[in-house]
């Protein structure tokens, strides 16, 4: 994940949860301490660490702008009726949004 991709993700997550996320909010999502906002700002130029990027890829699924990762995609299995798949995907994204909101406190 590059710095510009991190900025784009912050905007996409803001849209997904219905509130503007600050650098401090992103730091909280990444598990950083109170001074983490400055680190987020630096990462928005250089890109985050691999560990943080992996976490953010999971949280990105809350946004319609990002795909549901293959290991989380249980909707395209043969035992899920085709008619139910869109609703299940939407419910999953809403669950991810709630997780983001919960992490923010």
Q: Where are the domains of the chain?
A: 3-104
Do 74 and 63 touch, CB atoms closer than 8 A? no
Write the pLDDT tens digit of every residue in 29-41: 999 987 899 999 9
Token representation of residue 67: 């795909």
Q: Tell how far CA 37 is from the center of its chain.
A: 17
Residue that has been written with the tokens 């401090």 in this structure: 24
Residue 89 to residue 80: CA distance in whole angstroms: 11
CA distance 45 to 89: 32
Q: Are 24 and 68 in contact (CB under 8 A)?
A: no
What would the pLDDT profile of 2-31 be if each residue is shown by its tens digit?
A: 999 999 999 999 999 999 999 999 999 999
pTM for the whole structure: 0.87
């Amino acid at each position: 994940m590059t710095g510009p991709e991190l900025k784009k993700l912050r905007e996409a997550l803001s849209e997904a949860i219905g509130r503007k996320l600050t650098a401090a909010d992103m730091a909280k999502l990444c598990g950083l301490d109170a001074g983490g906002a400055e680190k987020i700002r630096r990462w928005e130029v250089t890109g985050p660490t691999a560990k943080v990027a992996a976490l953010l890829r999971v949280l990105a699924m809350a946004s319609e702008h990002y795909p549901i990762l293959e290991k989380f995609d249980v909707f395209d299995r043969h035992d899920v009726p085709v008619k139910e798949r869109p609703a299940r995907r939407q419910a999953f994204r809403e669950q991810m949004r709630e997780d983001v909101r919960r992490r923010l406190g």
